[in-house]
Structure 1
Amino acid sequence: MSPVTIGVLAVSMSIDAFIAALGRGATMHRPDMATALRTGMVFGTIEAITPLIGWVLGVAASRYVEAVDHWIAFALLGGVGLHMMTQALRRQRGEVAPPASPWRLIATAIGTSIDAMAVGVSLAFLDVNIFVIAAAIGAATMTMSSMGMMTGRFLGHRFGKVIEVIGGVALIGLGATILFEHLTAA
C-alpha cells in the first residue's frame, strides 16, 4: 500500500473522531491544549489499536464481528450523543458543563473506532504492514481529535447550548449512519 493511500485511509478513519472531539470541546467550554492533547491521545490510541484487533481476528472471526459491530457503534455513539443533548438542554444559561467522565471519552473513542476494526479485518486479506497503517491511523486521529477539541472550544464559547445539541445530534447521526450502512450493505 502506497504512503498516499495509507495517508488517505488514516485521515478518512479520523473524521468521525474529529466530529466527536468537536462536540466534546464545545461541551467543555474552553478546554486547554493539554486537555485537547489528552483527548487526542485517547482517540488516537484506541483508533490505532482497533485495526490491529480487526487484523488479528481476520477471516476466522470476521463474520461474528461484522454481525454486531454496527450495533455496538450505534449504541455507544447514540448513548453519548443523547446524554450530551440532554445535559445541554437541562443546563441553565451561563452554567458551565461538568467535566466529561473518562469513561464517556473512552466509550466515544471506541464507538468512533469500530469502523477501523472492520478496516483491519479487510487488511488481513492484503499484503500490508498493519503496524505502519495502524500507527498512521492513530497519528491522524490524535491530530484530528486535538484539532476538533480546540475548534469546539471556540464554537462552544460562541454558541453555547446550540453547538452542544448539534454535537449530540452529530454523534447520534454518526451512529445511525454506521448502522444504516451496515444494514443496507449487500
Structure 2
Amino acid sequence: MGVFTLFLIALGLSMDAFAVSISDGLCYPQAGRKQAFLTALVFGVFQAGMPMIGYFAGRTFAGAISSLDHWIALVLLGFIGGKMLIEAIRELREPESCPARKFSFQLLLMQGVATSIDALAVGVSFAVMDVNIFYAAGFIGVTTFLCSFAGFFLGRIFGGRWGQKAEILGGLILIGIGLKIFIEHTFA
C-alpha cells in the first residue's frame, strides 16, 4: 500500500473524529487548549489502537481468506464509508442541537471508542493485505490527532457547518479506496 493511499485511509477514518471535535468545540464554550489537546490525543490513540486490534485478529484468518482479500477490503471499506455517508446525510436533514453537558474525560473516552470502531474493520482489511500495521496505525493516529485538534477550534469558530460535510467526504474516500483495492487486485 502506498503512502498516498494510506493518507487517504487515515483522512477518511479521521473524519468521524474531526466531526465530533467540531461538535465538541461548538458545544463546550468553556473548553480551551487543554481540552482540545486531550480530545485530539484520545481520538488519535483510539484511531491508532483499533486498527492494530483488527489487524491482529484478522491475521489469525489471513491465510484462509487471502484469495478473497480484495473482496473483503471492498465490502468492509464500502460498508464503513456508506455508513458514514448515511449518518452524515441523516444529520444534515435533522440537525441535533448541543446538549447541555460539561466536558468530561468519561464522555471523551466514549466518543473515542465510538469514532474508532470503523478503524477496527480497516485493521482486518490491513491484515489480509499484509500492511505494516505499526506504520499504518501510527500514521492514522497522527492524522486523526491533527484533524481533531484543528476540528475542535474550527467548531468554536465556524460552528456546525463542516461536521457532516467532512463525514460525507470521509465516507466517499473510504468507498473509493475500497473500489481501488478491488480493481487493482482483480485486474492486475
Q: CA deviation at 1:34?
A: 2.3
TM, length-normalised to structure 2 = 0.64
Where does structure 2 lack aligned partners over 5 or more consecutive residues? 63-75, 176-188
2:149 and 2:134 mapped to 1: Cα distance?
Answer: 22
Query: Could you say which residue in structure 2 is the equivalent of 1:112?
Result: 115
Query: Could you say which residue in structure 2 is the equivalent of 1:48?
Result: 48
Q: CA deviation at 1:4?
A: 1.1
Distance 1:59 1:130, change over 3 A: closer
2:98 and 2:155 mapped to 1: Cα distance?
Answer: 17
Distance 1:131 1:41, change over 3 A: same
Distance 1:29 1:52, change over 3 A: same
Instruction: State how 1:1-186 maps to structure 2 within 5 Å.
Output: 1-29=1-29, 31-58=31-58, 85=96, 88=99, 98-156=101-159, 163=160
Where does structure 1 lack aligned partners over 5 or more consecutive residues? 89-96, 157-162, 182-186
- After superposition, the CA RMSD in angstroms is 3.3
TM, length-normalised to structure 1 = 0.64
Q: Which amino acid aligns with 2:132?
A: N
2:115 and 2:61 mapped to 1: Cα distance?
Answer: 21
Does the 8 Å CA contact 2:27/2:98 hold for their aligned counterparts? no
**Same amino acid, percent of matched pairs:** 34
Q: Which amino acid aligns with 1:16?
A: D
2:135 and 2:37 mapped to 1: Cα distance?
Answer: 22
Structure 2 counterpart SS, 1:133: helix
Distance 1:87 1:149, change over 3 A: closer
Does the 8 Å CA contact 2:31/2:103 hold for their aligned counterparts? no
Structure 2 counterpart SS, 1:125: helix
Q: CA deviation at 1:38?
A: 1.1
Deviations 1:76-97 (A, max 9, x none): x9xxx9xxx5763xxxxxxxx5
Does the 8 Å CA contact 1:25/1:149 hold for their aligned counterparts? yes
Does the 8 Å CA contact 1:31/1:150 hold for their aligned counterparts? no
Does the 8 Å CA contact 1:30/1:153 hold for their aligned counterparts? no
Distance 1:6 1:87, change over 3 A: closer
Q: CA deviation at 1:110?
A: 0.8
**Displacement over 3 Å in runs of 4+:** 59-62, 85-88
1:154 and 1:86 mapped to 2: Cα distance?
Answer: 16
2:97 and 2:40 mapped to 1: Cα distance?
Answer: 25
